[in-house]
């Protein structure tokens, strides 16, 4: 239903001598469309509006490249544009975008978690504004948190990545367009993704720690925790989820006591086992094999 | 075709600004207004610059952890984003700077002829200021030669932290025939210090806490990544072939040396620091459309990781006969993935995916120490893991815009196991998952989904832990990542727009894990639970006034058990002195947020955002058998953030902006306050911390 703004646009067009006889250039440049959709033509200030690139909408048929033939709409505004994005399914919308945007970082969009969950390109990208928030590291998380509510809370925990400062963005670790890794991580696996910044943990070492080699996320929650160092649980509890209770390993967590306090306070179990991600020390004169030196 | 409305997942993407922006409030609601303080888009309408000054009225290391605004004083505020397009050639030039006056500055220059070529240069810094201050008398911090006091010695405050300085280069070139090349290089220099220590239990100068000495790890390392790939777009066939190489070089890989300190720690030097290592991978990935509705994806990759850094040396690092001066570490990796999606009929979509990842650790196995201790045979322990996953899903359209989705998944992990083991191990874990979901992706007013997931993990029999002598060890705990586990999860998602200006989003998730332990043992992981809820609402009063609010509750629990002083054969005393005990770990957080954007006049923009989080860690420890166990006190953390901004346009493309931020952190975390190292070092933190930050800036939008 047309409101006051719609009637104003119609009147403006009817009063315009050229309103019903626009040139192809006017249609391609969006001048006609801008009469009513003034904000939308900000898109021509971006990549889609580069005339010198023959692949862009403005170099093809302008707004109609994505929205379809405007003829019927121009005859009567009660006729919607053929591609009315607000009424299209995710697949239909994505088909429009993917008629140009295929391959490269989007190679594994087909079958990705986002694709299968009806996420459309326009769910995240805003094309008709000067600033596509999802392509800015500072504002990108807001877009992701529209769905990922748990992570919204976690990134503000005391132990966190510098996400709210805009130094690390979701897309530094995840490829929202699909990947071959779990949780759409950027590289082929969780560990490979973590190693891109934390390569010192990769090894291989003389003494390796099984879960470290298997999956960083066994011990860490990269989105944020209250336990130090992004650990899922504090020590000694975290270590006791795997280790047999022989010797000191099952000691009660405590804030006092020579061995129990040392399990819990300061660096916890790492007070002794300082190189917990693995050590390249070949000796064992002080139990270095248990990551102590 | 008459299509219903669309799935509105972005309706409440509006209002999370309060959580972001170290020295500014971003302006997420009135999107048609270009934000001069957050300029990042490659859009000719986004060119702007702002310059100003900020004043922090308090010390707040938590607030400034990653931006350097951690002490009271003045800070320069400078951001710019200049974008120019040559319309004749389609050549873009962009100069970008953010937080240029702060420690976390980011700079970028890029130029590209769209659809032809492009290059970019990035410079950025990622600092991390350690929130804890070290009061220490340790000498040589920052180097790999530390001198430790031999007695409890009062110290001076030392600030720890790291800084990553990153230089990135990128080149793109398109060629005729739908080929293009992308090259990216990233060099990162990381230096600084981080909390590190050495020690052992026993009696030390601080009677309660054994013999532990503060020994900050010096960091001076270079990380490099190079990726070069060739892309082909043949319409139905899309291909990418590339190389990805990484390199880590640690300037301190000769180890961390200690002098002084306790006599009991005389053999605890040097400590090995991370060794240099490298990786190389070549890959080809693709996407092929068999028909317009049937597509496949694939990736094949081959890689190699090597590590041949020289071992640390010295009298405390005897090398066993037959071992060299380096590990000769080598891991070969292979990856194969194939997936297919199809829509055999309009109402039915199908998906299947298969993936194998093989990490083959070919590091030579040698006896590194003789005689071996009871829990090791002296050999190094390469870790090979082969992961195979498969997924399949069917998605069928029902009347009224509903869809029913059913899926199955499977993952198998095979790993090598050392001959001598102190931790329970199994060679294979096997997990199967089943999912059913009812989804309504399109509606004028209400969209959403309900899904149920059940998964079941088991595997090959646990191997008996065994000591070097052949004696059977302790076999009581199934490690959390290997244990048999049944997982159930329910997830509800709804987006409701009851009236045009109001949008409400609801999310709920409940998950439960049930673990099975080693045969005959009730110890180890027992149960896990997670309950997550959130409610978001956004209201658009009119074009000039918009508001939002949200609430989120996250509750995770983990129930586990162990015992003190089990015998080497795994018998728990369950005595008064050495009880068998449990802990029910819980992390409960309540978070609220609200935001307002207003444009009361044509010249004024206003914004306000507030978030508050209250987080409680509980431990709920108790006795299963034996003496009483006292639970650790809860840890309570509270975080408050208020961001306000006002912008006044002096003219159409220029104006002034005022920012105010209030940030408060409080916690009764007991991790460090009572701890004293044997050398006298203490790590301290002011609590609570709060900061009032005011910024004034002038902005200019380029026409």
By Cβ distance, the residue of A116, A145, A213 closest to B16 is: A145
Q: Does A151 touch chain B (CB under 8 A)?
A: no
Q: Does B355 touch chain A (CB under 8 A)?
A: yes
By Cβ distance, the residue of B22, B311, B562 closest to A245 is: B562
Q: What is the pLDDT of residue B210?
A: 83
Do A76 and A145 share a domain, yes or no? no
Residue A92 in any domain: the answer is: no
Q: Does A215 touch chain B (CB under 8 A)?
A: yes
Mean pLDDT of A245-263: 86
What percent of chain A has a predicted confidence (pLDDT) above 70? 91
Residue A210 in any domain: the answer is: yes
Q: What is the pLDDT of residues A134-149, one digit of tens each?
A: 999 999 999 999 999 9
Q: Does A265 touch chain B (CB under 8 A)?
A: yes
B382's CB contacts (< 8 A; 6+ apart) are A204, A208, B331, B361, B362, B363, B365, B416
Residue that finishes a domain, picked among A131, A162, A190: A190
Q: What is the pLDDT of residues B647-671, one digit of tens each?
A: 999 999 999 999 999 999 999 999 9
B223 with A208: Cβ contact below 8 A: no
Q: Does B200 touch chain A (CB under 8 A)?
A: yes
Do A184 and A213 share a domain, yes or no? no
Query: Could you give the CA distance from residue B506 to residue B508 in angstroms, rounded to a whole number?
Result: 7
Do A212 and A281 share a domain, yes or no? yes
Q: Residue B201: which pLDDT band, with cuts at 50, 70 and 90? A: confident
Residue A254 in any domain: the answer is: yes
Do A76 and A134 share a domain, yes or no? no
Q: What is the pLDDT of residue B467?
A: 87
Residue that finishes a domain, picked among A36, A57, A86: A86
A241 with B560: Cβ contact below 8 A: yes
Do A186 and A208 share a domain, yes or no? no
Query: Could you give the CA distance from residue B348 to residue B512 in angstroms, rounded to a whole number?
Result: 31
- Residue B284, CA distances (Å) to B299, B378, B492 in order: 6, 40, 38
Do A78 and A113 share a domain, yes or no? no
Q: Does A5 touch chain B (CB under 8 A)?
A: no
Residue A182 in any domain: the answer is: yes
Decide if pLDDT at B37 tops 80. Answer: no
Q: What is the pLDDT of residues A140-196, one digit of tens each?
A: 999 999 999 999 999 999 999 999 999 999 999 999 999 999 999 999 999 999 999
Phi, psi (degrees; rounded to nearest 5) at B632:
-65, 150
Do A222 and A150 share a domain, yes or no? no
Query: What residues of B are in contact with residue A126 (Cβ under 8 Å)?
Result: 31
Write out the residue range of the structural domain in which residue A222 sits: 203-290
Give pTM, 2 decimals: 0.93
Please give the mean pLDDT across all residues of chain B: 92
Under a CB-based contact definition with an 8 Å cutoff, are residues B477 and B518 in contact? yes
- Interface size, chain A vs chain B, as Cβ–Cβ contacts under 8 Å: 512
Q: Does B268 touch chain A (CB under 8 A)?
A: yes
Under a CB-based contact definition with an 8 Å cutoff, are residues A291 and A209 in contact? yes
Query: What residues of B are in contact with residue A104 (Cβ under 8 Å)?
Result: 182, 231, 240
By Cβ distance, the residue of B13, B305, B318 closest to A202 is: B305
Q: What is the pLDDT of residue A14?
A: 42
Q: Does A271 touch chain B (CB under 8 A)?
A: yes
Q: Does A186 touch chain B (CB under 8 A)?
A: no
Query: What residues of B are in contact with residue A84 (Cβ under 8 Å)?
Result: 3
DSSP chain A: ---HHHHHHHHHHHHSTTTTS--HHHHHHTHHHHHH-TGGGGGGGSGGG-TTSTTSGGGTTTTHHHH---HHHHH-TTSPPSS-GGGS-HHHHHHHHHTT--SGGGTT-TT-HHHHTT--HHHH---SSS--GGGSTTTHHHHHHTT-HHHHHHTTSSB--STTTTSS-GGGTB-TT--SSGGGBSSSSHHHHHHTT-GGG----SB--HHHHH-GGGTB-TT-BSSGGGBSS-TTHHHHTTS--BTTTTPPP-SSSTTHHHHHSTTGGGGT---TT-B-----TTSGGGT--
Q: What is the pLDDT of residues A46-77, one digit of tens each?
A: 999 999 999 999 999 999 999 999 989 989 99
A46 with B307: Cβ contact below 8 A: no
Residue A100 in any domain: the answer is: no
- B312-322 as b/e: b if 16+ CB within 10 A: beeebbeebee
Mean pLDDT of B203-218: 85
A250 with B565: Cβ contact below 8 A: yes
Residue that finishes a domain, picked among A31, A51, A86: A86
Mutate to test the interface with A, among B36, B43, B68, B199 (most CBs of A within 10 A): B43
In terms of CA atoms, which chain A residue is nearest residue B209? A258
Q: What is the pLDDT of residue B500?
A: 86
Decide if pLDDT at A41 tops 90. Answer: no
A137 with B40: Cβ contact below 8 A: yes
Do A164 and A212 share a domain, yes or no? no
Mean pLDDT of A107-126: 95
Q: Does B693 touch chain A (CB under 8 A)?
A: no
Residues 33 through 92 of chain A touching chain B, CB cutoff 8 Å: 39, 42, 45-47, 50-56, 84-90, 92
Residues 514 through 553 of chain B touching chain A, CB cutoff 8 Å: 523-525, 532, 534, 536, 552
Mean pLDDT of B575-588: 97
Residue A273 in any domain: the answer is: yes
Assigned token pair, B346 = 């309009």
Residues 93 through 132 of chain B touching chain A, CB cutoff 8 Å: 98, 104, 106, 113-115, 124, 126, 128
β-partners of residue A87 are: none
Q: What is the pLDDT of residue A260?
A: 67
Q: Does A283 touch chain B (CB under 8 A)?
A: yes
Mean pLDDT of A25-54: 86
Residue B270: strand, helix, or coil? coil
Do A237 and A178 share a domain, yes or no? no
Residue A143 in any domain: the answer is: yes
Q: Does A220 touch chain B (CB under 8 A)?
A: no
Query: Could you give the CA distance from residue A23 to residue A31 in angstroms, rounded to a whole number?
Result: 10
Do A209 and A286 share a domain, yes or no? yes
Q: What is the pLDDT of residue B2?
A: 35
Do A24 and A53 share a domain, yes or no? yes
A180 with B335: Cβ contact below 8 A: yes
Decide if pLDDT at B332 tops 90. Answer: yes
CA distance A63 to chain B (A): 17
Q: What is the pLDDT of residues B357-377, one digit of tens each?
A: 999 999 999 999 888 888 889
Please compute, for residue A175, the number of CA atoms within 13 A of its CA located in the half-sphere on the CB side: 21
Number of structural domains (chain A) is: 3
Q: What is the pLDDT of residue A261?
A: 73
Query: What residues of A are in contact with residue B363 (Cβ under 8 Å)?
Result: 204
Q: What is the pLDDT of residue B49?
A: 97
By Cβ distance, the residue of B383, B422, B581 closest to A252 is: B581
Query: Could you give the CA distance from residue B282 to residue B243 in angstroms, rounded to a whole number?
Result: 4
- What is the DSSP-derived secondary structure letter of residue B423? S
CA distance B204 to chain A (A): 9
Rg value, chain B, Cα:
30
A87 with B28: Cβ contact below 8 A: no
CA distance A25 to chain B (A): 16
Do A186 and A139 share a domain, yes or no? yes
CA A159 to chain centre: 20
User: Between residues B529 and A130, which one has the greater pLDDT?
Assistant: B529
CA B317 to chain centre: 35
Q: What is the pLDDT of residues B231-268, one digit of tens each?
A: 999 999 999 999 999 999 999 989 999 999 999 999 99
Q: What is the pLDDT of residue A23?
A: 67
Q: What is the pLDDT of residues B405-437, one digit of tens each?
A: 999 999 999 999 988 888 999 999 999 999 999
B9 with A119: Cβ contact below 8 A: yes
Residue A8 in any domain: the answer is: no
Q: What is the pLDDT of residue B43?
A: 81
Query: What residues of B are in contact with residue A123 (Cβ under 8 Å)?
Result: 7, 9-10
A233 with B46: Cβ contact below 8 A: no
Query: What residues of A are in contact with residue B525 (Cβ under 8 Å)?
Result: 241
């Amino acid at each position: 239903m047309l409101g006051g703004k719609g009637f104003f646009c119609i009147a403006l067009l009817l009063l315009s001598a050229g309103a019903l006889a626009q040139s192809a250039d006017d249609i391609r440049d969006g001048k006609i469309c801008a009469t009513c959709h003034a904000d939308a033509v900000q898109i021509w200030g971006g990549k889609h509006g580069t005339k010198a690139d023959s692949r862009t909408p403005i170099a093809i048929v302008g707004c109609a490249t994505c929205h379809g033939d405007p003829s019927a709409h121009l005859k009567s505004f009660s006729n919607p544009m053929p591609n009315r994005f607000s009424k299209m399914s995710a697949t239909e919308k994505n088909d429009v975008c993917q008629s140009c945007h295929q391959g490269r970082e989007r190679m594994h969009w087909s079958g990705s978690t986002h694709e299968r969950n009806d996420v459309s390109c326009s769910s995240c990208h805003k094309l008709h504004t000067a600033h596509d928030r999802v392509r800015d590291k500072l504002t990108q998380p807001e877009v992701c948190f529209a769905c990922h509510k748990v992570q919204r809370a976690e990134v503000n925990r005391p132990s966190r990545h510098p996400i709210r400062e805009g130094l690390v963005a979701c897309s530094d670790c995840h490829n929202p367009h699909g990947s071959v890794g779990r949780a759409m991580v950027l590289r082929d696996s969780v560990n490979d993704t973590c190693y891109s910044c934390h390569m010192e943990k990769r090894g291989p070492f003389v003494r390796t720690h099984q879960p470290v080699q298997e999956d960083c996320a066994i011990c860490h929650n990269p989105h944020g925790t209250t336990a130090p160092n992004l650990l899922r649980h504090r020590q000694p509890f975290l270590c006791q989820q795997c280790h047999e209770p022989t010797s000191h390993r099952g000691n009660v967590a405590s804030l006092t006591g020579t061995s129990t306090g040392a399990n819990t306070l300061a660096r916890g179990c790492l007070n002794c086992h300082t190189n917990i991600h693995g050590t390249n020390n070949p000796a064992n004169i002080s139990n270095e094999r248990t990551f102590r030196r | 075709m008459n299509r219903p409305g669309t799935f509105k997942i972005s309706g409440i993407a509006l209002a999370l600004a309060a959580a972001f922006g170290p020295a500014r409030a971003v302006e997420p609601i009135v999107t048609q207004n270009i934000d001069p303080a957050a300029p990042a888009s490659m859009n000719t309408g986004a060119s702007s610059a702002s310059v100003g000054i900020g004043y922090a009225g308090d010390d707040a290391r938590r607030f400034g952890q990653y931006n350097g605004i951690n002490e009271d004083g003045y800070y320069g505020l400078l951001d710019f984003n200049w974008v120019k397009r040559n319309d004749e050639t389609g050549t873009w030039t962009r100069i970008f700077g953010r937080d240029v006056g702060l420690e976390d500055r980011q700079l970028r220059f890029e130029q590209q002829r769209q659809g032809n070529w492009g290059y970019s240069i990035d410079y950025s810094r990622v600092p991390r200021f350690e929130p804890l201050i070290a009061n220490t008398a340790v000498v040589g911090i920052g180097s790999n030669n530390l001198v430790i006091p031999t007695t409890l010695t009062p110290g001076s405050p030392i600030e720890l932290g790291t800084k990553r300085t990153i230089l990135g280069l990128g080149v793109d070139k398109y060629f005729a025939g739908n080929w293009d090349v992308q090259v990216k290089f990233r060099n990162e220099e990381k230096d600084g210090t981080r909390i590190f220590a050495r020690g052992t239990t026993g009696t030390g100068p601080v009677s309660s806490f054994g013999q532990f000495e503060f020994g900050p790890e010096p960091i001076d390392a270079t990380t490099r990544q190079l990726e070069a790939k060739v892309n082909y777009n043949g319409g139905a066939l899309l291909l990418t072939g590339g190389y990805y190489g990484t390199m880590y070089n640690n300037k301190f890989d000769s180890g961390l040396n200690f002098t002084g300190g306790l006599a009991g720690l005389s053999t605890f030097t040097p400590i090995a620091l991370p060794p240099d290592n490298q990786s190389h991978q070549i890959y080809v990935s693709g996407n092929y459309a068999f028909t317009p509705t049937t597509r496949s994806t694939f990736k094949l990759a081959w890689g190699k990781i090597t590590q041949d850094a020289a071992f640390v040396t010295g009298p405390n690092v005897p090398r066993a006969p037959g071992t060299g001066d380096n590990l000769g570490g080598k891991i070969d990796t292979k990856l194969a993935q194939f997936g297919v999606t199809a829509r055999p009929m309009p109402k039915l979509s199908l998906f299947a995916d298969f993936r194998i990842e093989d990490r083959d650790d070919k590091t030579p196995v040698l006896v590194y120490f003789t005689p071996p201790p009871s829990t090791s045979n002296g050999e190094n322990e390469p870790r090979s893991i082969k992961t195979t996953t498969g997924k399949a899903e069917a998605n069928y359209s029902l009347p009224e815009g509903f869809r029913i989705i059913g899926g199955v998944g499977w993952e198998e992990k095979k790993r090598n196991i050392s001959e001598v083991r102190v931790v329970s191990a199994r060679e294979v874990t096997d997990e199967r998952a089943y999912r059913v979901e009812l989804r309504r992706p399109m509606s004028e007013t209400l969209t959403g989904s309900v899904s149920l997931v059940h998964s079941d993990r088991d595997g090959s029999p646990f191997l008996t832990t065994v000591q070097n002598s052949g004696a059977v060890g302790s076999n009581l705990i199934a490690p959390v990542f290997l244990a048999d586990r049944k997982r159930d999860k329910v997830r509800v998602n709804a987006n409701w727009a009851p009236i045009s200006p109001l949008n409400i989003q609801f999310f709920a998730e409940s998950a439960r894990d049930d673990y099975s332990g080693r045969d005959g043992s009730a110890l180890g992981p027992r149960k896990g639970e997670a309950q997550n809820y959130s409610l978001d609402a956004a209201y658009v009063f009119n074009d000039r006034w918009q508001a939002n609010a949200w609430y989120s509750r996250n509750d995770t629990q983990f129930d586990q058990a162990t015992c003190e002083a089990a015998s080497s054969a795994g018998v728990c005393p369950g005595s008064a002195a050495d009880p068998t005990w449990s802990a029910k770990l819980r992390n409960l957080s309540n978070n609220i947020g609200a935001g307002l954007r207003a444009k009361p006049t044509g010249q004024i923009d206003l914004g306000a955002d507030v978030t508050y989080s209250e987080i409680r860690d509980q431990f709920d420890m108790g006795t299963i058998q034996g003496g009483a166990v006292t639970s650790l006190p809860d840890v309570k953390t509270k975080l408050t953030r208020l961001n306000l901004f006002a912008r006044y346009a002096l003219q159409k493309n220029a104006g002034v902006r005022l920012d105010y931020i209030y940030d408060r952190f409080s916690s009764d975390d007991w991790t460090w306050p009572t701890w004293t190292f044997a050398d006298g070092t203490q790590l301290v933190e002011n609590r609570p911390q709060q900061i009032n930050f005011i910024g004034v800036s002038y902005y200019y939008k380029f026409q």
